Amino acid sequence: MADDAQHKVSPNNPCPFLRMLVAQGLLDDRVATIGDATEVIERVAATGEGSPQLPGIAIRLIALLANGLGPGALLGNGLDGVKLDKLRDGPLDKHGAGSRILDARARVRPAELDRLKEFASLKDTAGGGREWGLDAKEITVMMDANYARAEGHRRLIDRQLMNGEWPVLLDVMGKDGKHGRYLSLREIRALFVERRLPARMMKRLGRRG
């Protein structure tokens, strides 16, 4: 989907994967029922290599908590759905304790995106090529470094929240190379900058990239 054909995404949605789903018209920018959000995320995840299956119960719980932990927020999400344009400053927002690739207005910081290469290495693709990527160990090192540099304005839970982000992206968008699964830096850049999935996943989803 070309940029001019993409759906508008609120800057108050700080999650790159959810921003992609909205931009591609798979989820509404304002509100999505927990059932709809779960179905879309599971369906998109299954287009990855090896048809990864994400736990629906975990997705539903995250969606329920995403807009706040108070009784009103929980009831609202349970009855009306998760408000994707109001995720910023919610309980899952790490406020700069993560990768910092997106700023507070959801604009890409090129230097932070380029920083991923500091933790990556050249991977041998299944087809015999080579590209820069992040495997599970490198992702853990990166997340630890992100948490360490946020000293003074981080929460204890922030490091645990990271475990539900990059490792899950590895499961969903990862490529099976000759020496294991990895995230392609080229495809991660496309997710953040162009708000699109890898072409191989778009094809399985029945959509044009």
Distance CA 160, CA 133 (A): 23
pLDDT (tens digit per residue) in 138-191: 999 999 999 999 999 999 999 999 999 999 999 999 999 999 999 999 999 999
Distance CA 142, CA 176 (A): 20
Of 173, 107, 90, residue with least CA distance to 139: 173
Phi, psi (degrees; rounded to nearest 5) at 150:
-90, 10
Distance CA 67, CA 88 (A): 8
pLDDT (tens digit per residue) in 5-59: 799 999 999 999 999 999 999 999 999 999 999 999 999 999 999 999 998 988 9
What are 149's two structure tokens?
């540099």
Using CB atoms within 10 Å of the CB of residue 51, give its burial: 0 to 12 exposed, 13 to 18 middle, 19+ buried.
Answer: exposed
pLDDT value of position 38: 96
pTM: 0.91
pLDDT value of position 2: 46
CA distances to 21, 76, 77 from 80, in Å? 19, 6, 5
| SS3 label, residue 197 | coil
pLDDT (tens digit per residue) in 53-106: 998 988 998 999 898 889 898 989 898 999 999 999 999 999 999 999 999 999
Distance CA 85, CA 78 (A): 16
Distance CA 92, CA 161 (A): 7
pLDDT value of position 57: 87
Residues contacting 109, CB < 8 A, separation 6+: 100, 101, 102, 103
Distance CA 13, CA 83 (A): 9
Other C-beta atoms closer than 10 Å to the C-beta of 77 total 20
pLDDT value of position 209: 54
Provide the terminal-to-terminal Cα distance of the chain, rounded to the nearest Å: 5
Regarding predicted confidence, which is higher, 115 or 61?
A: 115
